[in-house]
A and B are shown apart, each in its own frame.
Chain A
Amino acid sequence: MTLMTVEGLGIDFGGVRAVDAVGFAVKPGEIVSVIGPNGAGKTTLFNILSGVYRPDRGRVMLDGMDVTAMAPHRLAALGLSRTFQNLQVYLQMTALENVMAGRHLAERCSVIADLLGLPASRRRTRETADIARGLLARVHLERAAEREASSLSYGALKRLEIARALAAQPRLLLLDEPAAGCNAVETEEIDALIAEIAAEGVAILLVEHDMKLVMKISNHIVVLDHGEKIAEGAPAEISQNPRVIEAYLGTQAEGGHALC
C-alpha cells in the first residue's frame, strides 16, 4: 500500500518549467531520496508536496485521496510534516517552545481557556513540554531546551527542525537537506536518526547532497535534472546510471563510481 503517489507533477515560474512531469510513490517506512544537481527543482517539488506552492499540472494522492493544492495546514493534519533547506526555525522562541509549537495539531485548546490560564490549558502545556523534552533528547538538544533558538549553532538548528517536525507525529516526513552544513559526526547522527524514524513506520522523503548518506540509507532514489525525472531506482542502479552521472558531472565524468 503506497502512502503518497505523485503523478505528472509540474509547475512553471514565468515560463520556466521548474518542475515537469515528475512522478513517483512512497510507501510507509520507506526512505525515498530525491537527488539532482543544484537548481534541479528538488526544493520546489517539496514546496508543492507540502502545499506551499500550487502545481500547474499533475496530482498528488495521499492514502488514495487527491490532495493536490491543498492548504499546508490541512496537509499537516493529514500527517505530512517537513523541514526546510534554509531553516525556518522560530528564532525568537526557545528550543523547547519550537518543538512544543510542533505539537499544535495535538494540543488544540480554546482561546478562552488559554486567556484565563485555566487548569486545562496549563495541563496541556505541561504535557506538551514533557513530550517536547523527549524529542529534544532524541536529537541531543535536551541541554539547549531553555535557550533561544537564535543562539544555537547551525547544526543544532537543523536537528531542532527535525524534532519540531517529529512533534507533529507525521506519517510522511519531508526532510530538505538535513545534513547540510553538518560535520561528519553530526551527519552520522542524523543518518541514524532518519533510519530510526523510518523503522517506526514513518515514510521519509529526503533531499540531500551528501551522496554517501543518500546511498547508504535510501530504499529508493528519484533523480531530477532541470525539473524532470531522469532516473529512478535502487541506490545501486542509480550510482551506475550513465544519465545520472552525466547530469551530475557533465562531460567530465570519469567513472561509474563517482557518486559513491
Chain B
Amino acid sequence: MYEFLQFVSSGMTVGAVYALVALGFTLIYNASDVVNFAQGEFVMLGGMTTVFLYDAGTPLWLAAVLAVMITATVGVLLNKLAVEPARGASVVSLIIITIGASIFLRGVAQIVFDKQIHRFPAFTGEDPITVAGAAILPQSLWVLMGGAAIFGVLYLFFTRSVIGKAVLATANNRLAAKLVGINTTAMMTLSFGLSAAVGALAGVLATPITLTSYDVGGGLALKGFAAAMLGSMGVPAGALVGGLLLGLIEAMTAGYISSDYKDAAAFIVILTVLFVMPRGLFGRAVAERV
C-alpha cells in the first residue's frame, strides 16, 4: 500500500508535467492547427533560464518570473518569424518547421547556456513529507498545485474573459471569427505566447525534481504529444487526463514491472486506446462532409 501511494505520487508529479506540455500542444493546435514539436523546448528554456539567472544571483522567484516571460517572448517570436510566414503550407511542412525550430532552440541553448545537467533548490525545502507511509517531496506538491492552478486559471480565462472566448471562437472557425471582427492573427500570437509560458512554468516547477539540460525538450515533446493525442488533440480536459494517465502508467510500470519498460507500457496503452477509440479518449465522431 505504501508502495502504491509512492508510485501514485511520483506518477502524478511526472503526469502533471506531461499534462502541461500536452496543454501547450492543445493551445497552439486550437489556434492554428499547428502541432508544435518545439513545445518541449519551452519547458527546457523555462528551467534552464531560471537556473542561470538564479546562479547569477537573482532571487529564485524573480528568476522564475523572468524565465517565463523570456520563454513567452520566444514563443511569440517563433510564431511571428517561423509559423506565420509559412501560412498555407501543408500540415507536414508546418510540423517540419517546428521540428527545425526545436533543433534550433536546442542549438541556441547549448551555446547560451552549456551542456551540463542542472537544477536549482526546491521552493520549500528538500525534506520529504511522509503521508500514510509514502514519502512525498514538497516540490511534488508544488508541481501538482501549480499544474492545477494553471489549468484552473486557463479555464476561467477561456470561459469568462472576452479575449479567451475570442481565442475559442478562432479555434472553432477561423473565417467566422474573422468575420465577426476578431483579430485572428493576434489570437494566434497570444496562443503561442500562452503556450510557451505554460511550458516554461512546467519547467520551473519540475526542474528541482527532474533536473534539466539543453536536450530535455525532445523527450518531453514526444510524451506531451502522445498525452495530447491520447486525450484527443485540441481538448484541454483531454490534455489533463492524457498527461496524468501517461505519468501514472509509467510510474506503475517502473514500480511493479521494470523501469526499462515504463515508456513501452505508456505507448502500448496509447496504441490500444487509439485502436479502440481512433480519435482519442475525448474525441467526438464527426460525419464526413462530402
Contact = CB atoms under 8 A, between A and B. Distances in A.
Interface of A: 13, 43, 47, 52-53, 84-86, 88
Nearest to A18: B287
B290 A84 contact: yes
A52 B288 CA distance: 8
Nearest to B284: A14
B290 A86 contact: yes
Contacts of A88: 290
Interface of B: 287-288, 290
11 contacts: A13-B287, A43-B290, A47-B290, A52-B288, A52-B290, A53-B287, A53-B288, A84-B290, A85-B290, A86-B290, A88-B290
Contacts of A52: 288, 290
Contacts of B287: 13, 53
Main secondary structure of the interface of B (DSSP, over half): loop
Contacts, number: 11
Contacts of A43: 290
A84 B288 CA distance: 13
B125 to A, nearest CB: 53
Contacts of A84: 290
Contacts of A53: 287-288
Contacts of A86: 290
A88 B290 CA distance: 8
B162 to A, nearest CB: 28
A85 B288 CA distance: 14
A52 B287 CA distance: 9
A52 B289 CA distance: 10
Contacts of A85: 290
Contacts of B288: 52-53
A86 B288 CA distance: 13
Nearest to B287: A13
A62 B31 CA distance: 46
Nearest to A84: B290
Contacts of B290: 43, 47, 52, 84-86, 88
A13 B288 CA distance: 12
Nearest to B288: A52
A84 B287 CA distance: 16
A226 to B, nearest CB: 18
B286 to A, nearest CB: 10
A84 B290 CA distance: 7
A251 B288 CA distance: 34
A47 B288 CA distance: 10
B289 to A, nearest CB: 8
A80 to B, nearest CB: 15
A13 B287 CA distance: 8
A120 to B, nearest CB: 35
A43 B288 CA distance: 12
